[in-house]
Chains A and B, each alone.
Chain A
Amino acid sequence: MNEEQVWLEQARQGDKAAFGKLIEAYQTPVYNLAYRMLNNAGEAEEAAQEAFIRAYTRLDSYNPEHKFSTWMLSITSNYCIDLIRKRRALLLSIDEPLPPHPALMSDNSKGPEAQVVMNEQQAMVQTLLQELPEDYRQTVVLRYWYDLSYDEIADMMDTTVSAIKSRLFRARRLLAEVGQEAGLDPVRDSAALTAVS
């Protein structure tokens, strides 16, 4: 048994501290997923907390043959999708002013200039992602930040590999189009051609 399996077993028996170790280990992937999906620091934190609470109460239904990280991400992304759909159903404005992510403001380790560049990059990414319908966004986020295979994403979203492929295809073309409109520099000719091989 590795460390994670020990924590899981202890958590299953009601040991909150053991589950705390798991929260610490997975807080960034879970929070990042929620933030990319919801584009709002407060909502993302609330959703990430809710995802961990759900995981804790449903620990009995977790199948140890799967990776815990995948299970956790699947709970988080499904919860975010539900939230987005509910939000739309309630007709609340999605275009409300969004607070900037606090971590972007506080991290000065790379020096102020590098920080400004990084903030711009994060802002551009969020702008692009928000242009996608939520299921496309989910696919893109899972693919790019979590390095999941088409198989794993299809499994998680309860659909087929070909559906995921076509979703990613359309999402990428949409992002490319919006990226150009938003002023994202296209890759130069020579670099683009060498990238093929």
Chain B
Amino acid sequence: MEHEETYLLMMDALDGELAEAQHSELEAHLRACPSCLQEWQALLAVHTLLQQTPALSPAVDFAQRTLARLPNRRVRIWTLTAIYALLLLGGILPLALAVWLVFILRPVLSEPTILSSISQSIGQALQVMGTIVWALLAGLGEMVVQQPAIVGWLLVLLGIISIWGGVSRQLIFQTSPRQTS
């Protein structure tokens, strides 16, 4: 049997998962191979040490001090509920308003001339927006080509803003102040 294979048997032995036939296989190899026996003795020593070392407990007032640092869940629950309700209203109100408007204006809207003029004006608005976006993109492209330094400065500025965003988030969302014992 190869040494490497023996190592795997040793691991199973440590985990208490060695089958009956493998017991004798491992034992026979250990009796014949001094280097594997040495490895096994060292493995067993560490294994036994870890198994026999009790867990460590924190200081006696640990639970009390931790309790004092807990954030207020009730406030959090209420805040979340309020935000949720606001979002829900924010979504539902305009929708309800639109449905109501459509309902009121139904007779007028069903006139074919009005319908066609509405779709026409939407089409025109889209066209105007397309032109504006296109012009903006083209301008941006030109600026990148002609003034790379400005782009560099913008990137630096973005970096600074994001760092400050991170710092202020840390400050705002920190839990209760740390307690020094």
Contacts and interface: CB of A to CB of B under 8 A. Distances in A.
Contacts, number: 153
Interface in A114-171: 118, 121-122, 124-125, 128, 140, 144-145, 165, 168-169
Contacts of A48: 58, 62, 66
The 9 closest A-B pairs by CB, nearest first: A14-B74, A186-B41, A176-B42, A32-B55, A14-B73, A31-B58, A144-B50, A187-B44, A175-B46
Contacts of A104: 56
Nearest to A51: B66
For the side of the interface on B, what is the size category? 35 or more
A28 B57 contact: yes
Contact of B71 (A57, A144, A173, A196): A57
Contacts of B18: 196
Interface stretch (B25-33, B92-100, B161-169): B25-33
Interface string A71-82: 000000000000
Interface stretch (A62-70, A84-92, A177-185): A177-185
Contact of B50 (A32, A125, A169, A189): A125
Contact of A57 (B8, B27, B73): B73
Interface residues of A, number: 61
Interface in B11-38: 11, 13-14, 18, 23, 26-27, 30-31, 37-38
Nearest to A125: B53
B49 A145 contact: no
Contacts of A1: none
Contacts of B65: 49
A172 B51 contact: no
B46 A184 contact: yes
A193 interface: yes
A124 B7 CA distance: 24
Given A29-B55, A31-B62, A193 B30 contact: yes
A94 interface: no
B62 A27 contact: yes
Contact of A124 (B49, B71, B72): B49
Interface in A28-53: 28-29, 31-32, 35, 44-46, 48-49, 52-53
B114 interface: no
Contacts of A172: 11, 14, 43, 46-47
B41 A122 contact: no
A169 B13 contact: no
B134 to A, nearest CB: 44
A113 interface: no
B77 interface: yes
A45 B62 contact: yes
25 contacts: A13-B73, A14-B77, A20-B63, A20-B67, A23-B63, A28-B57, A28-B58, A31-B56, A45-B59, A52-B66, A53-B71, A102-B59, A103-B58, A103-B59, A104-B56, A128-B49, A173-B7, A173-B39, A176-B46, A179-B46, A186-B41, A186-B42, A186-B45, A192-B30, A196-B26
A33 B7 CA distance: 28
A193 B70 contact: no
B73 A32 contact: no
Contacts of B120: none
A192 B40 contact: yes
B45 A187 contact: yes
A19 interface: yes
Q: Output the residue of A169, A184, A195 with the most chain B CB within 10 A.
A: A195
